[in-house]
Amino acid sequence: MKICLAGTGAMGVVHIKALEKIDGVEVVSVNGRTNESGQAFAAQWNIPYTSTDLLACIDRPGVDAVILTTPSSMHADQAVLALSLGKHVQVEIPMSLNLPDATRIVAASKASGKICMITHTRRFSSPHREIRRRIQDGSFHLHHMVVETYFFRRQNLNMHGQARSWVDNLLWHHGCHSVDLAYWVLGEPNFEVWGQQGPDHPELDIPMDMTVAMRSKKGPLFSMAMSFNNKGPFGGFYRYIGEEETYKIYRDSMTDSEGREVPLDGVAAFDRQDVEFTGAIRQGREPESSAASCLPTMALLDRIEKSMSRAV
């Protein structure tokens, strides 16, 4: 299987490391924002072709699929382009523009008959999968899911301290992942929703703090705090408060209320995710986290955004 990778930033590196572990998968072209970034990335990872022209990278002999790790503002148009050319697509950032763009991507996937998968990586994380399994088999009854997402991003730098070519919005990027997680874990698209946001940063032009609250018609609550102003450990912190136990999750680890580690399968989420993408292509089936399966998330995000009250 031959893959075109679009984007040479931090997530591009994560994907190529995961793809290198999959037998029979080869990245044959990389689309860089500049010639310099593309050439450096291609040399580092032994990719035979690079160009700043995405179409040229897609149109290489034998390319089966495209993974987009480019700025989210480009994703709808780029995904539709790749699908129209008969390529399977994985979109790195969730469908983070708006509900109409998300709907357009799903329509393009259906029209082309090709797979379009959204990288909601938490769906592939061992601890979250274990929580979902316990909810489904009735051994864990969730009361409240609490999510804290903290970064310090007053300058537009990525996780490696490098300049970024795009600015991510807390709600439509980080919030989207967590709202999708709540929907996926509970199998519940029917939430009451509410949100609020703080003032915009004068240079980044995005709100730096947000809160989101949701209430499931099944009973459980969802609360999320997000900040780009937090000094301290960064990332997503999850607390599942249930009738039987309280579980805390950070990255790929899970502990109970006494701080004891919960045994898990140990598979890295990004590895499982790219195995799912390539496996679904080979088997001709809809993947977990397909674009169509994520539309309820985008509808929730759309409602949350409309509920936002801006702090003065």
Same domain, 109 and 137: no
Phi, psi of 8, deg, nearest 5: -120, 20
* 25 beta partners: none
The two tokens of residue 274 are 């790219």
Is the domain of 37 the same as that of 127? no
pLDDT per residue over 65-117, tens digit each? 999 998 777 888 999 999 999 999 999 765 556 888 889 999 999 999 999 99
Task: Give the chain's mean pLDDT.
Answer: 92
CATH assignment at residue 48 = 3.40.50.720
Nearest-angstrom CA–CA distance, 157 and 170: 15
How far is it, in rounded angstroms, from Cα 7 to Cα 152?
23
pLDDT recorded at residue 47: 98
CATH of the domain at 151: 3.30.360.10
What does the pLDDT read at residue 300?
93
pLDDT digits (tens, 9 = 90+) for 188-214: 888 999 999 999 999 889 899 999 999
Rounded Cα gap, residues 224 and 238, in angstroms: 9
**What pTM was computed for the model?**
0.91
Select from 197, 167, 177 the least CA-distant residue to 289.
177
Domain that holds residue 205: 122-267+298-310
Percent of the chain with pLDDT over 90: 77
What CA–CA distance (Å, rounded) separates 200 from 59? 40
Q: Is residue 104 part of a domain?
A: yes
Are 110 and 220 part of one and the same domain?
no
Please check whether residue 273 is in contact with residue 119, taking contact to mean a CB–CB distance below 8 angstroms.
yes
**Distance between start and end Cα atoms, the chain:** 52
Of the candidate ranges 6-10, 38-42, 107-111, 144-148, the one whose mean pLDDT is the lowest: 6-10
Q: Answer yes or no: do 54 and 144 share one domain.
A: no
Cβ atoms of 63 and 2 within 8 Å: the answer is yes
Share of the chain above pLDDT 70, in %: 97
Looking at residue 93, its pLDDT comes to 63
140 and 154 assigned to the same domain: yes
233 — pLDDT class (breaks 50, 70, 90): confident
* Number of domains present in the structure of the chain: 2
Per-residue burial over 158-197, b = 16 or more CB atoms within 10 Å of its CB, e = otherwise: eeeeeeeeebbbbbbbbbbbbbbbbbbbbebeebebebbb
User: Is 95 part of a structural domain of the chain?
Assistant: yes
